[in-house]
Amino acid sequence: MKRSTIQRRQDAERERIELCDAALRRVVRSVRSTPNFRKAIEEAEHGFSGEVVRDPQSWQPQMKTRDAARLRVAAARHLFSRYPVPAFLERVWIDDTGLSAEEVRLRKQWYVTAARGGSLYKAGASAWLTRKEIHAFLNPSVGLGFDEAFWEAIARSYASDAAMALRIARSKIARASRGETDFWRGVVRFFCANPAPVETIDDLCDYLVECRRRDPHYNLEGRTLSALIRRMHEWHHDIAAIERIEAMRRRVPGRGAQTWAADAAWSGSTLADWEWVPSSKDAKAKGERFVVRQLKQAEDLVMESRAMRHCVSTYAAKCIAGAASIWSLRRCTKDCIDRLLTIEVDRQDTAVQVRGLANRLAHPDERNVLERWAKARGIALR
């Protein structure tokens, strides 16, 4: 049925009114909730009710903010603060993202102690900092976070140059775990005595982490900055060599990633590793034993090449193709492990090359151990 002009005008008017109402609903501000002061005071007091210096019920803030973080800080100041504290200590009340529950508790405790005028040294900070360092920690350079202030305080106890201490605080050292403070304190002392740009410190930190991974007892005593930088560059060179070997391994036809053991870069020889313990009469040191171990990982091959100062890492292609296997003869004692010989064994289980440090030939006593291994594993020696 055809609609009249009046009806069409009425429909258009209703549609216009509906559109206007919808537009108004979009722009009208929602009713703002009132600040939740009670929740803020409860969150700040939680776990520290016995250390408050003011009655929680007496808090009557003149604040319009609805931001929960800002309210918590204000509540913490009311409950605990007799003295001003650095901004980085207050930060834990604002945002504890990425921190464990234990770390959050520690930082809040340090805030409460400092705000009440107590001793951080007696509150547990003595496990990591001296009294002098705690004073520096509570008076840091502007703009530092908790961890940065912690390491700047340590650096200031060794460096007469405040700029150097700040450089250390801005470096990757500030990301170090407090559980390894003793080691990284030594690193801080080293850089205070051997100043370097932040970029160099950061690069060396990556190298030092790797050194610690290989040797938990590694330290910087007696080392120089130039020698450390040189070894870092060698490490980068080794990483590049490992990556090339891994790329070579992945390109081998018919050997997809699923065919490799999880802990090995290539399958290698089926011969087992070997160990011999001399009798107490023949042993030259306490706990002496000799081990022959097959190198089947890119990293192991490159480290052997670096330590023995020869080119065995270039044999990776032969190992991956199954044309050869590389073995390392090592002498182990209670105190150390010494690499003695690197051995190349071909497909026919023949030792085609035996070389020591810098490609030297085997010494007579090493040859005796080598012959024991060869006899035990059915290896032919040339």
Q: What is the pLDDT of residues 245-286, one digit of tens each?
A: 877 777 766 544 434 333 447 888 999 999 999 998 888 888
Task: State the average pLDDT over residues 34-46.
Answer: 87
Quote the percentage of the chain above a pLDDT of 90.
62
Q: 148 pLDDT exceeds 90?
A: yes
- For residue 223, is pLDDT > 70? yes
Q: Which positions ≥6 away from 292 have C-beta within 8 Å? A: 273, 274, 275, 327, 328, 329, 330, 343, 373
Tokens of 291: 């081990």
pLDDT at position 32: 58
Which stretch of 103-112, 153-162, 264-273 has the lowest confidence by average pLDDT?
264-273
What pLDDT, on the 0 to 100 scale, is given for residue 21? Answer: 77
pTM for the model stands at 0.67
In this prediction, residues 140-159 reach a mean pLDDT of 95
Q: What are phi and psi of 34, to 5 degrees?
A: -80, 150
Residues 49-59: what's their mean pLDDT? Answer: 91
Please give the Cα distance from 124 to 119 (Å, whole number): 9
In this predicted model, which residue has the larger pLDDT, 345 or 240?
A: 345
- Confidence (pLDDT) at 183: 96
In this prediction, residue 364 carries a pLDDT of 93
